[in-house]
C-alpha cells in the first residue's frame, strides 16, 4: 500500500507515496529543509488521514520543533495534533533506549514515524562493525509491520556520499536528496536517488518553501 505524503508535487515523483513497511532516508546539507519535509509529512497524515504519528528527535527539543512547525501554521499544541503528533527526545548514544522507544511506538499503534536525525549515531558509534550492526537491527525493527519511517542524515558540505558513514543509505529502502546551491539559478532541488519496489523520477526537481511548507515543481 502506498502512503501519500500530500506534499504538493512530491508524491507523483515516487508513484503515489512511500510503501508501507519501508524505511526512507532524507539526505541533505545544513539548511536544505530536511526537518520541514518530515514535519510536513506527519502533519499531513494527521490532518488528512487522521493517523497517529511520532517524531523522534536526537538534536532539537520538543519546544524547538513546535516553534519550527508554528511558522507554517502547524500548531502542535492543539488538537488533533496534540494527541496524534507525538515528539520523543532521544539521547543518541543510548541504542537500547532507542530500540525500546521504537517498540513502544509500535505498540501504541503509530504507523508513521520520523527519526531526525541518524547522523548523531554516525558520530557516537565510531566502530564501523558496531554501527552496521546497530543500524541493521534498528532498520529491521522498523520494517516489521505497516509502518512508514522517514530518517534524516546530514550530508557534509562538498561530500560526494549521502551520509557521513556511507552506510545508512544502502540499508534504507529509498533515498531522497535535498540540495541548496547558493550560486545556482534554481537554488533548492530534490532528487530521488533510490526507490525500491517502485518506479520513480530520476530528474532533479526544484522546490520552494512557502507559508504552508514545501512545494515541489
Residue 80 makes CB contacts below 8 A (sequence gap 6+) with 46, 47, 50
Residue ranges per structural domain of the chain: 2-216
Query: Tens place of pLDDT for every residue, the chain, 217 residues?
Result: 999 999 999 999 999 999 999 999 999 999 999 999 999 999 999 999 999 999 999 988 999 999 999 999 999 999 999 999 999 999 867 888 999 999 999 999 999 999 998 887 777 766 777 778 888 899 999 998 899 999 999 986 766 667 766 788 999 999 999 999 876 677 899 999 999 999 999 999 999 999 999 999 9
Look-up: residue for cell 546530514?
154
- Overall CATH class of domain 2-216: alpha beta
Query: What pTM was estimated for this model as a whole?
Result: 0.94
Look-up: residue for cell 502533519?
43
Amino acid at each position: 500500500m502506498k502512503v501519500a505524503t500530500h506534499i504538493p508535487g512530491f508524491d507523483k515523483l515516487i508513484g503515489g507515496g512511500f510503501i508501507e513497511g519501508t524505511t526512507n532516508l532524507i539526505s541533505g546539507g545544513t539548511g536544505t529543509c530536511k526537518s520541514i519535509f518530515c514535519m510536513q509529512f506527519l502533519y499531513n497524515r494527521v490532518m488528512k488521514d487522521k493517523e497517529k504519528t511520532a517524531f523522534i528527535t536526537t538534536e532539537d527539543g520538543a519546544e524547538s520543533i513546535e516553534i519550527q512547525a508554528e511558522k507554517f501554521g502547524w500548531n502542535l499544541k492543539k488538537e488533533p495534533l496534540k494527541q496524534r503528533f507525538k515528539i520523543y527526545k532521544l539521547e543518541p548514544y543510548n541504542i537500547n533506549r532507542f530500540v525500546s522507544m521504537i517498540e513502544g511506538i509500535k505498540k501504541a499503534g503509530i504507523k508513521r514515524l520520523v527519526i531526525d536525525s541518524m547522523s548523531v549515531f554516525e558520530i557516537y558509534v565510531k566502530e564501523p562493525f558496531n554501527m552496521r550492526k546497530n543500524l541493521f537491527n534498528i532498520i529491521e525493527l522498523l520494517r516489521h509491520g505497516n509502518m512508514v519511517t522517514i530518517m534524516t542524515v546530514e550530508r557534509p558540505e562538498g561530500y560526494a556520499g549521502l551520509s557521513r558513514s556511507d552506510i545508512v543509505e544502502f540499508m534504507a529502502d529509498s533515498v531522497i536528496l535535498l540540495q541548496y546551491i547558493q550560486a545556482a539559478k534554481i537554488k533548492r532541488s530534490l532528487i530521488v536517488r533510490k526507490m525500491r519496489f517502485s518506479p520513480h523520477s530520476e530528474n532533479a526537481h526544484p522546490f520552494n518553501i512557502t507559508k504552508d511548507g514545501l512545494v515541489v515543481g
